[in-house]
Structure 1
Amino acid sequence: MKRILLSIVLCLVFAVLIVPLGTVLAAAQNFPELKGYVNDYAGVMTLQGKAQLEARLSQLEKDTTAQVFVATIKSLEGNEIQDYANRLFEAWKIGQKDKNNGVLLLVAPDDRKMWIEVGYGLEPIITDARAGRIRDDNIIPAFKEGDYEKGIIDGAAVIEDYIRKGTPPAPLEENPVKNIFGDWIVAFFILSIITVYMSGFMARSKSVWLGGIWGAIAGALIGLAVGGIAALIIGPIIFAALGLGT
């Protein structure tokens, strides 16, 4: 019994002392010093490029109160970039305190990774989808050519444009083509249920006349079902070729 109590006490001591200590040590990680809007610790930007971007981001904050910071570090040293960006964002206290309207563009050239961290106040504007498009369309292509400065400046320019416009993405409109296919599927299942039920009923009937009529109806329904399935398979291909799909 004493051993059990001792084990419980040791577990409690571990939970109370060791776990918080680990949290404190993690929080105390040495992040690079915030020197301005552009913090090029990886040395991938020219003095002219840094100065121009610094001026643009400074003016953006004056005009909108939103803060956009750029940070480049050579390596993440084994850290996940999303986690590092989130902690750096918090350490640098990016964004106005009452609005949380900040954005951090983090680049780690040696690891070939980058991340756009967005404060809650700007998430309706810089959505995950928009951040992904900025990465894929404006940043990564330049990075692949070895031009990190161009990728950073182009990416920051699109972020700035979104913030200045302040327009959330429009709701995705429902695709009428998909609606048609959805209706076909519902109709197919309803017709299938009716066909199975009526076939069982007619099988028990001795009337040749009813059997003939139902045979014609069942044939028509089967033809309609087959045509519907063909439309479901071939239709999307045709609509995609015509540019009518999403």
Structure 2
Amino acid sequence: MKSRYKVLQCSAILALILVLGNMALAAFPASQGFVNDFANVLDQTSRTEIQAIADRLQAEQGIELAVITISTTSPMDPKEYTTGVFNEWGVGGPEDSGLLMLLAVSEGAIEVEPGYGLEGVLPDGLIGAVIDQEGLPHFKNRAYGAGLLAMARAYAQILAGEKFEIAEESNDPNWLVSFIIFLIIVLFMRRGRRFPPSGSGGFGGGGGRSGRTVFVPRMPRGGGFGGSRPGGGFGGGRSGGGGAGRRF
């Protein structure tokens, strides 16, 4: 009798796990493309310019940038939700060259997560510095479109091999460790080769600050992802849950 009871109990637990797993999957909306304004908070200008940046990244470097606004991530916390939707959508293609920016309105949260293929180019400290300098000033005034656009421009500049100046007052307490790790990765990747030019251009914005200047290697062009995907459907990329997030 006890054996039968244990079997029934285990079956019930397994069924509950399956139900909860399906509920979690169902919580993620279907992708609408690179820009997904589910919370309806983006102005048309910001939406159009973010789309143009994403199209350019995909066409020139094979990088998939996904931007999501959502009213709430409940019952999941914003970070857990971001990792889940990243892997559910497969942002980044077979080389895992994806970047997801998620803004949760009710939680007052911004999360940015890179795919495995971009972790060496976008370390957590650098991702956090971009949020602090480019996004938070706008988000605190509820200018969500302007903040996401400024961040998209900054990340695009970094991915194009251009400089990004980190202000000394960055809110990320772990920037030094991340920066040192980043430099080691860059030196390893670029051993025997010179850094790319640091001149401005490309994606615009981001000038006029004092502080540490970060140089990054230029990502290879033509990642083999095919054409742009304005109607949704990413290429199977994955994320390990890295990146950075802030509350505003």
Aligned residue among 3, 8, 12 for 1:5: 3
Shift of 1:139: 0.7
Distance 1:27 1:84 in 2: 10
Q: In the alignment, is residue 87 of structure 1 matched against residue 100 of structure 2?
A: no
CA pair 68-34 structure 1, distance change in 2 beyond 3 A:
same
SS, match of residue 111 in structure 1: coil
Correspondence for 1:132: 128
Q: In the alignment, is residue 143 of structure 1 matched against residue 139 of structure 2?
A: yes
Aligned residue among 43, 58, 62 for 1:61: 58
Distance 2:100 2:145 in 1: 16
**8 Å CA contact retained: 1:101, 1:120:** yes
Could you tell me which runs of 5 or more consecutive residues in structure 2 were left unpaired when the two chains were aligned: 164-180, 186-248
User: Per-residue displacement from partner, 1:98-133 (whole Å, max 9, x unpaired)?
Assistant: 201111100012321110021111111111111111
**8 Å CA contact retained: 1:116, 1:131:** yes
Q: How many corresponding residue pairs?
A: 168
**8 Å CA contact retained: 1:125, 1:166:** no
CA pair 78-169 structure 1, distance change in 2 beyond 3 A:
same
RMSD of equivalent CA atoms: 2.2
Question: Residue 13 of structure 1 aligns to which amino acid in structure 2?
Answer: S
CA pair 19-127 structure 1, distance change in 2 beyond 3 A:
same
Aligned residues with identical type, % of pairs:
24
SS, match of residue 11 in structure 1: helix
SS, match of residue 55 in structure 1: helix
Q: In the alignment, is residue 22 of structure 1 matched against residue 10 of structure 2?
A: no
- Name the structure with the higher strand share: 2
- Name the structure with the higher helix share: 1
**8 Å CA contact retained: 2:49, 2:149:** no
Question: Residue 170 of structure 1 aligns to which amino acid in structure 2?
Answer: L
Could you tell me which runs of 5 or more consecutive residues in structure 1 were left unpaired when the two chains were aligned: 173-246
Highest Rg: 1 or 2?
Answer: 1
Equivalent positions of 1:199-218 (< 5 A) are none
State TM-score, norm by structure 1: 0.62
Distance 2:161 2:19 in 1: 44
Correspondence for 2:97: 101
State TM-score, norm by structure 2: 0.62
SS, match of residue 106 in structure 2: helix
Distance 1:17 1:110 in 2: 32
SS, match of residue 8 in structure 1: helix
User: Per-residue displacement from partner, 1:66-106 (whole Å, max 9, x unpaired)?
Assistant: 1011111122234200111111112222111x201111100
SS, match of residue 170 in structure 1: helix
User: Per-residue displacement from partner, 1:26-45 (whole Å, max 9, x unpaired)?
Assistant: 2222x333222111222222
Distance 1:32 1:12 in 2: 31
Shift of 1:12: 3.1
Higher relative contact order (CA 8 A, sep 6+): 2
Distance 1:22 1:44 in 2: 30
User: Per-residue displacement from partner, 1:143-179 (whole Å, max 9, x unpaired)?
Assistant: 112221221011111111222229983149xxxxxxx
Distance 2:148 2:81 in 1: 18
Aligned residue among 164, 176, 182 for 1:169: 182
SS, match of residue 103 in structure 1: strand
